[in-house]
Chains A and B, each alone.
Chain A
Amino acid sequence: MDDGTAVLRDTDTGAGTVAEAAPQPDRASQRPGSALHITGLNKRYDSGFRALEDVDLDIRHGEIFALLGPNGAGKTTLISIVCGLVTASGGTVAVDGHDIEREFRAARSRIGLVPQELATDAFAKVHATVTYSRGLFGKPPSPAIVERVLRDLSLWDKRDERLMNLSGGMKRRVMIAKALVHEPRILFLDEPTAGVDVELRREMWELVRRLRDDGVTIILTTHYIEEAEEMADRVGVISQGRIIVVEHTTELMRQLGRKQLTLHLQHALEAVPPSLHAFGLELSGGGRELTYTYDDTSDRAHIPELLRALDAAGIVFRDLHTQQSSLEDIFVRLVRDSNP
């Protein structure tokens, strides 16, 4: 079996051949080099709008990478430049070591793109349009691969339907089929679950996992932060055309563990007493609120000590509450901090 024909293979068919065939949390180290290497990428539109500013990004082979960012942050522009839909104003992009300009054939033949907008030839039939995509990417006709992709996406029964007769969810499946039928090594999913029902969303994540297990690198943009948490190996946060942070999802989850304890005081304080400085407290609400920020996943939470120290300092509180920051809070804070 050649390298390319294994994209949608069930994970169990490869069992017993090589140890690496089993799903692993971090496959990035298995192949040297980058799946996608971006340096100093800039994009300024004719209107003067700077969509991307000096973007550097390195995506490893076989990882699922989520690009998070508010609307207009530059996510789609970034994907569009890599895929050849938009011309960069500066910088370089290499796909699997191939420059997207000089070696566009090698670069593009490795890429599958599922754009955000549903764009279909309404009069074409499902089977014909998927077959077309394979040919366009320079692959010889293969009814077997077309059938497998259609079956994997529950489209086989609809193969002779015209696209205009399909529901939105089915059209989305067709677009995914078109992106997969030429067996790409890197798959771009631009807002894949926007406007998609729960069932398709679940199937889609199932598919993404299977593709990853076959070594396909997946780069997706999403507004659903929980999905990035659940699916992505690493997350990149982009805002106003700049990459603010690129981090392992587990590391971001560790940050998610940050909690805050707020004490509502009986009497207002003018300042935090020196005996409490070690806790890094913040005084707010006119001196009536003390906030203690801690990390409950580590040993650094010292709540009993804090309470004893408060008692010793003669500070009386009448109420307290704790609050856990979500990834969304972290995301909002990152975006806000980067754009003061």
Chain B
Amino acid sequence: MNVHAVRTIYMYELARAWRTLFQSVVSPVISTSLYFVVFGAAIGSRITEVDGVAYGAFIVPGLIMLMLLTQSVSNAAFAIYFPKFNGTIYELLSAPVSSFEIVLGYVGAAATKSVILGLIILATASFFVPLQIAHPLWMVVFLVLTAVTFSLLGFIIGIWADGFEKLQFIPLLIITPLAFLGGTFYSIDMLPPAWQTVTLFNPVVYLISGFRWSFYGLTDVSILASLVTVSAFLAACLAAVWWIFRTGYRLKA
């Protein structure tokens, strides 16, 4: 194991986040705060509560998940796309590092950033609404699992993308709609029955449901289904990354 290399990639990527502090941390915090103002205070005041939880507090786990998904994907995608774009990937490919170590460095850094961001948003939210966390350990488990899984997805997208358009494509056209329709702002039993069934095919529903359960003990789907979904998605991403490095897809001629 090339520990120096893993640490080097990890620290370099975290330093990059520090260099771009505004877009890495400040802008997601600002946009989340805007959601609280609009949905929590303005609209939320008309909605009393969902399953006994004040609406402002109800949307907190979903909002954190929304940011966690989009930031994990875009952080990791950009981190590996950038060296491909500017040509510095040659150094990574010629270094005595295994694919596992490369993934550990990049995905580890992206997931760390996302988890820190999630905790910052959680702290921000506590200024707006009274929060309770029923299962703190499970909350961390969901936070980390989701951050790692979606950072892996972002890593795959960053390797697949051969232009900035594609780099934006999946986060914008797939992740954001899935997150919005995944029960961030509502409980799925508020939907008409037909849409409830459709929604069950959205993997993000399971993530948000599991995460919300760790706060309030409320679930849209069973907690086991949530864990299985995240784990299955994690396994799929790992398999894809394994295949990418095995074949050199979009990395080696």
Contact = CB atoms under 8 A, between A and B. Distances in A.
B165 interface: no
Most buried by A among B90, B98, B252: B90
B92 interface: yes
Interface stretch (A27-35, A107-115, A251-259, A266-274): A107-115
Interface stretch (A132-140, A276-284, A315-323): A132-140
Contact of A136 (B15, B95, B252): B95
Given A108-B94, A108-B95, A123-B19, A86 B8 contact: no
A138 B252 contact: no
A128 B13 CA distance: 12
A140 B15 contact: no
B177 interface: no
A119 B94 contact: no
A259 B127 CA distance: 89
Contact of B253 (A87, A118, A137, A141): A87
Contacts of B253: 45, 80, 85-87
B12 interface: yes
B4 interface: yes
Interface string A75-88: 00000100111110
A133 B94 CA distance: 11
Given A84-B94, A87-B253, A136-B91, A120 B5 contact: no
B52 interface: no
Contacts, number: 81
Contacts of B9: 136
Contacts of A105: 2, 96, 98
Contacts of A86: 252-253
B135 interface: no
B87 A136 contact: no
A135 B93 contact: no
Contacts of B82: 121
B79 to A, nearest CB: 11
B90 to A, nearest CB: 5
A190 B91 CA distance: 14
A119 B12 contact: no
B158 to A, nearest CB: 15
Contact of A119 (B19, B87, B96): B87
A254 to B, nearest CB: 37
Contacts of B94: 83-85, 108, 111, 113
Contacts of B248: 87
Contacts of A117: 87
Given A85-B252, A86-B253, A132-B8, A137 B86 contact: no
B97 interface: yes
Q: Name the 10 nearest CB pairs between A and B, nearest first.
A: A135-B8, A119-B87, A108-B96, A105-B96, A83-B94, A109-B96, A138-B2, A136-B95, A86-B253, A138-B4
Interface of B: 2, 4-5, 7-9, 12, 15-16, 19, 82-83, 86-88, 90-98, 248, 252-253
18 contacts: A84-B252, A85-B90, A85-B93, A85-B252, A86-B253, A87-B248, A87-B252, A105-B98, A107-B96, A119-B90, A120-B87, A121-B83, A133-B91, A135-B7, A136-B9, A137-B96, A138-B4, A141-B4
Interface of A: 45, 80, 83-87, 104-109, 111, 113, 115, 117-123, 128, 132-141, 178
Given A86-B252, A87-B248, A120-B88, 12 more contacts: A45-B253, A80-B253, A84-B252, A87-B252, A105-B2, A107-B96, A109-B96, A113-B94, A115-B87, A135-B5, A138-B96, A178-B91
